[in-house]
Amino acid sequence: MIIVQKYGGSSLATAARIRNVAKKIVAFRRRKKGISLVIVVSAMGGTTDRLINLANMVSKSLQGRELDRLLATGEEVSSSLLALAIRSQGSSAISLTGAEAGVITDRAHTKAKILSLDTGRIREELKRGRIVIVAGFQGISDEGEITTLGRGASDLSAVALAKALDAEQCEIFSNVKGIYTADPSKVRAAKKISQISYDEALEMAGCGAQVMQGRAIELAKKFGIPLFTGSSFSKEKGTIICKEPIVEAPLVSNVTLNEAEAKVSIFRVLDRPGIAARIFAPIARAGINVDMIVQNVSKAGYTDLSFTVAIEELERTIKIAKKIARQIGAGNVGFDKDVARVSIIGLGMISHPGVAARMFSVLAKNGINIKMITTSEIKISTVVPKKDGKKALRAVHKEFIK
């Protein structure tokens, strides 16, 4: 029987924390003799950001191949250190790079997709009785080049390995005790959730909650792999992300606040077939993720178009939007950084009408103006002034989470 465990950067941020994770792994191993352990690691907390900063300091145009070689070192360091720590505590362990672990990807540097997993080496090492530590977030292309899988993708490495190894369990450890009804550092009344569906967790990731990487949740959903999330610092039970909860789903299981987005508007856009495609295709080609698109009612053949992007993409987005606006004969391009997105997520919404109205009236009672609204079957997002974000979060949480 194989168990895959993934440890995030905060759990491995210092030598002491690495020793602590090693201790946990060794103790687990002694308790459960028959189980083979595959451990996937992130880089030590802050490392990937630091490496990207360094690269930006020496070059204005980062080249994917070199950047990937640079970033991959982060996970190589943490995997080796963890293997050393485990061995010094008396268990047998070996660290493997993504390439050595058989993670084969396409050639798209810095955002590679996993094409296949050749688990031969891992299985061999497990047979020798070793704990196998795999550097997450990285792989190798068919040309033998080191690739990385995108930010936060050591979660994805763990889920993919769990699937390929037919693992009994996939456990994701970080510095938080699980998934809460809202970020507990912002809402004191937030409660830990014992079980949540893949779809809710996906919406949460999309709404900016720091849960797990969205791609990893998607993959787990595709193969029906339950994900056990929890803290490496605590023995408390965490949250299971799985198909449908056994009990009846709550109306709202989670409230999120995202303060890292900006609103972009293109005014006086000709209301004609094909125009939206002409606007959003170049933005997508630039790798910018667009959210919450809203188009006003057409007046005299023209409409205004607004959407949100991550704040760090704002400058690039405006540049592209201005160019497109000129090409299609639209008016000005405006932006608003002073926004926050408050969302409610819950499977129970599917079968209970009136949830949106309840959310809007709570905001109204608190004197909070709504600038944009979007919905899905299990999510309602509102954009409000940034200064009202936390107040909105708390008021909405109080309304729906009892």
Antiparallel, parallel or unpaired: β 254-258 and 339-345: antiparallel
Considering the complex, state which of residue 19 and residue 111 has its C-beta at the smaller distance from ligand ASP: 111
Instruction: For residue 387, count other CB atoms closer than 10 A to its CB.
Output: 10
Rule CB under 5 A: say whether 48 interacts with Mg ion. Answer: no
Tell me the closest approach of the beta carbon of residue 105 to Mg ion, in angstroms.
18
Closest listed residue to residue 171, CA positions, set 283, 37, 278: 37
Rule CB under 6 A: say whether 43 interacts with ligand ASP. Answer: yes
Size of the site for ligand ASP (CB under 6 A): 12
Size of the site for Mg ion (CB under 5 A): 3
Q: How far apart are CA 35 and CA 37, in angstroms?
A: 6
Stretch binding ligand ASP (CB under 6 A), from 146-154, 332-340, 366-374, 378-386: 146-154
The neighbouring-strand residues paired with 379 are 345, 376
Where do the H-state alpha helices sit in 95-197? 120-127, 154-164
Q: How far apart are CA 123 and CA 55, in angstroms?
A: 36
Residues of this chain, 23-42, that bind ligand ASP according to CB under 6 A:
42
Rule CB under 6 A: say whether 252 interacts with ligand ASP. Answer: no
Among positions 2, 9, 105, 180, the unique one binding ligand ASP when judged by CB under 6 A: 9
Residues of this chain, 155-174, that bind ligand ASP according to CB under 6 A:
155
Identify the burial level of 159 via C-beta atoms within 10 angstroms of its C-beta, where 0-12 means exposed, 13-18 middle and 19 or more buried: buried
Rule CB under 6 A: say whether 151 interacts with ligand ASP. Answer: yes
Among positions 98, 102, 139, 152, the unique one binding ligand ASP when judged by CB under 6 A: 152
Tell me the closest approach of the beta carbon of residue 234 to ligand ASP, in angstroms.
20
Rule CB under 5 A: say whether 42 interacts with Mg ion. Answer: yes
Q: How far is CA 150 from the centre of its chain?
A: 10
CB 251 within 8 A of CB 200: no
Residues of this chain, 345-384, that bind ligand ASP according to CB under 6 A:
none
Q: Would you give the DSSP letter of residue 301?
A: T
Rule CB under 5 A: say whether 152 interacts with Mg ion. Answer: yes
Q: How far apart are CA 202 and CA 207, in angstroms?
A: 9
Tell me the closest approach of the beta carbon of residue 159 to Mg ion, in angstroms.
13
Chain residues binding ligand ASP by CB under 6 A are 9, 42-43, 48, 74, 136-137, 151-155
